[in-house]
Amino acid sequence: MATTGPLVTRIVAQSGAKTGGLAEIPKSWPKQAVRAAHGMVVTDEELGSQAGVEILKRGGNAVDAAVATAFALAVVEPTAGNIGGGGFMLVRLADGKTTFFDYRETAPGKASRDMYVRKDGKLDEEASVIGYRSVAVPGTVAGLELALKTHGTMKLGDVLAPAIRLAEEGFTISEKLAAELEEESPGLQTFPGSNRIFLNNGQRFKAGDMLRQPELAATLKRIAKNGAADFYRGETAKVLAEEMAKNGGILSLQDLANYKPKVREVLRARYDSGGHSWEVLTSPPPSSGGVAILEALNMLKEVPLKGWDDPQSVHMVAETMRRIFADRAAYLADPDYAEVPVAGLTDPCYAKERAATIDHTKATSSKTVSAGTPHVCGASASSGVAPRPVASRLEGRHTTHFSVVDTAGNAVASTYTLNDSFGSHVTCAAGFLLNDEMDDFTTQPGVPNSLFELMQSDANAIAPGHRPLSSMTPTILLRDGKLSFVTGSPGGPAIISVTLLSIINWMRFGMEAQGAINAPRFHHQWFPDRIRMEAEFPLSMEQALRARGYEVERGWYETPSLGNEGKLRKHMGLVNAVGIDPQTGERLGAADPRDRGSAVGY
């Protein structure tokens, strides 16, 4: 149910048809982005944003600040900020150069296709999401070092300084973190390191307590001194591999030594909208998101969209989502090991054919929608890669996205993750949490994965050295050749829908930056065959969609830090974006108010 009463205020998401009623946005949410003349850092956590701004003010560029922010979030946002996980970073420098850093985790050498299938043939749903066996080889430290070496101007030791300080001196636990720790305590108390560090030795932390992480500070200091080599071949590697071996994990010293981050070519496409020429720069595989978002934007090119108070607009976008997720399931996987038909999937001719299968008046049953036959204009629709048989689940929490723009106009969009909130829930002796990214693989061919009910193909099966398919989609938009919008989100598969909506809000609806983040969100992932809508949508929108044949589910996860309000107000995604004011050039920091994001500029 949408919340009513004094807590909320009505906003017009977009002028146009009003048949769906207006979304109700909480009064406490900021209405305007934070403006700054020089630089802007937007993250889930104020201390993370401040770490980035500290580096910008010391003369660092956006990449220096992004690396500092990522390390600082590994200290102050243990749910998702990490050095024990992996992620993607999209960089666009002011001179036009673009780079995509892929530091996605890989499957350990001893991983195997059926490692989570029990003797009775059933999937062990716990094993891929909690404990030592769910851990893939972490990529973050190698990726951040590579990004810094490639485009940064400062030394690793300099950008690590804020993170080391926060880990050593500690920081005050917010209501949000206290609630997250409480929520995840059943998993965390299972592992002695997690119980000691994050549950105060079983005494539990309250908001206002200090969290000091001396082991993590020592690890960060070693990285500052010896670089990523410490993490992959030095002291940290040794500590991690020994702990793994003692506790039934499969990640070895050799796996760590073998890990390599990759630089990949940025995906890009052009669109005309509102009298401007736009370019969308986004994430290539092993992200599934960039391909899916370009396919969606292509399919929606000729579709008039009026706003999220218009059921017809919601319908057309939901049907588009349904189809891009069917394609994602069949075709997307690690491009180093599977042929991914990126050119066909992102081709406007293919999109036209795909869009032609949408019934403009009612929902198509997902049972009758299968993957298309991607091809580029002029090539036969039968050429190329055959769709792979697929199998499909919900958004876990948590991943984190942050955006940075510096005074020169260099921009960074970065999403990185432990997968689930607090990842595998294991905190190793070196003081950091380990991911449970193995669950992003097709853990049992023919069966949806544990956390997200996602349909995935055999091409995403577990194999040593492979990267599991991801939905993380850091994205940057240019308007008339100039930096315009930096975006991305957590949210499991909803990352794709939420990032797509933020792009539509900015590029097609011309919303103000904060409005583009506040606007209500919806998501359809083909299977389960239902549209998920945030609580801010009015009942009339839900009814209009049900009348078209949709099964509607409200929201996704609760926001525990918001107490009762959070229980009512179910949300998806946390977009931390930066827009550029085309008139003044000011940086517009738009943090997601759904879980108290923070935009800090100067």
Which residues are known to be catalytic? Answer: 399
Q: How many whole angstroms separate alpha carbon 240 and alpha carbon 230?
A: 11
Over the window 398 to 417, marking each residue x when it contacts ligand DON by CB under 6 A and - when it does not, the resulting string is: xx-----------------x
Q: How far is the CB of 128 from ligand DON (least distance, A)?
A: 12
Q: E-assigned strands of 104-188?
A: 171-172
Q: How far is the CB of 506 from ligand DON (least distance, A)?
A: 21
192 contact partners, CB below 8 Å, separation of at least 6 = none
| CA 592 to each of CA 105, 195, 230, 458: distance values in angstroms, whole numbers, following the listed order | 27, 30, 35, 35
**Applying CB under 6 A, what is the total number of residues that bind ligand DON?**
16
510 and 600 in contact (C-beta within 8 Å)? Answer: no
Nearer to ligand DON, 421 or 484 (CB): 421
Nearer to ligand DON, 126 or 242 (CB): 126
Q: Decide: is 490 part of the binding site for ligand DON (CB under 6 A).
A: yes
Query: Backbone phi, then psi, for 178, in 5-degree steps?
Result: -60, -40
Q: How many whole angstroms separate alpha carbon 451 and alpha carbon 326?
A: 18
The counts of H helices and E strands in the chain are: 19, 23
Q: Could you say which of 63, 280, 495, 517 contacts ligand DON (CB under 6 A)?
A: 495
Rounded (5°) CA angle 149-160-100? 40
Q: How far is the CB of 417 from ligand DON (least distance, A)?
A: 5
Q: How many whole angstroms separate alpha carbon 498 and alpha carbon 491?
A: 8
Q: How many whole angstroms separate alpha carbon 533 and alpha carbon 234?
A: 47
Residue ranges in 152-211 that form contacts with ligand DON under rule CB under 6 A: none
Q: Which stretch binds ligand DON (CB under 6 A): 92-100, 138-146, 229-237, 391-399?
A: 391-399
Q: How far is the CB of 490 from ligand DON (least distance, A)?
A: 4
Nearer to ligand DON, 397 or 479 (CB): 397
**Amino acid (one-letter) located at 443:** T
Nearer to ligand DON, 492 or 597 (CB): 492
Q: How many whole angstroms separate alpha carbon 244 and alpha carbon 435?
A: 13
Q: How far is the CB of 491 from ligand DON (least distance, A)?
A: 5
Over the window 461 to 480, marking each residue x when it contacts ligand DON by CB under 6 A and - when it does not, the resulting string is: ---------xxx--------
Q: Which stretch binds ligand DON (CB under 6 A): 374-382, 490-498, 526-534, 543-551?
A: 490-498
Q: How far is the CB of 401 from ligand DON (least distance, A)?
A: 9
Specify burial of residue 273 (Cβ count, 10 A radius: 0-12, 13-18, 19+): middle
Q: How many whole angstroms separate alpha carbon 430 and alpha carbon 104?
A: 21
Q: Could you say which of 474, 488, 492, 538 contacts ligand DON (CB under 6 A)?
A: 492
Which strands make up the sheet holding 577-580, listed edge to edge? 34-36, 587-590, 577-580, 482-487, 475-479, 276-282, 267-273
520 and 534 in contact (C-beta within 8 Å)? Answer: yes
Q: How far is the CB of 345 from ligand DON (least distance, A)?
A: 18
Q: Decide: is 280 part of the binding site for ligand DON (CB under 6 A).
A: no
Q: How far is the CB of 591 from ligand DON (least distance, A)?
A: 16
499 and 316 in contact (C-beta within 8 Å)? Answer: no
Q: How far is the CB of 495 from ligand DON (least distance, A)?
A: 6
Q: Which stretch binds ligand DON (CB under 6 A): 30-38, 143-151, 247-255, 389-397?
A: 389-397
Q: Which stretch binds ligand DON (CB under 6 A): 190-198, 234-242, 390-398, 579-587?
A: 390-398
Q: Which stretch binds ligand DON (CB under 6 A): 152-160, 161-169, 365-373, 488-496?
A: 488-496
Nearer to ligand DON, 72 or 418 (CB): 418
Rounded (5°) CA angle 496-499-505? 135
Q: Decide: is 491 part of the binding site for ligand DON (CB under 6 A).
A: yes
555 contact partners, CB below 8 Å, separation of at least 6 = 532, 533, 534, 535, 569, 570, 571, 572
Helices (H), 504-582: 513-518, 539-547, 563-568
Q: How many whole angstroms separate alpha carbon 141 and alpha carbon 55?
A: 18
Over the window 429 to 468, marking each residue x when it contacts ligand DON by CB under 6 A and - when it does not, the resulting string is: --------x--x----------------------------
SS3 140: helix
Q: Decide: is 419 part of the binding site for ligand DON (CB under 6 A).
A: yes
Q: Could you say which of 24, 395, 558, 586 contacts ligand DON (CB under 6 A)?
A: 395
Over the window 5 to 44, marking each residue x when it contacts ligand DON by CB under 6 A and - when it does not, the resulting string is: ----------------------------------------
Contacting positions for ligand DON (CB under 6 A): 395-399, 417, 419, 437, 440, 470-472, 490-492, 495
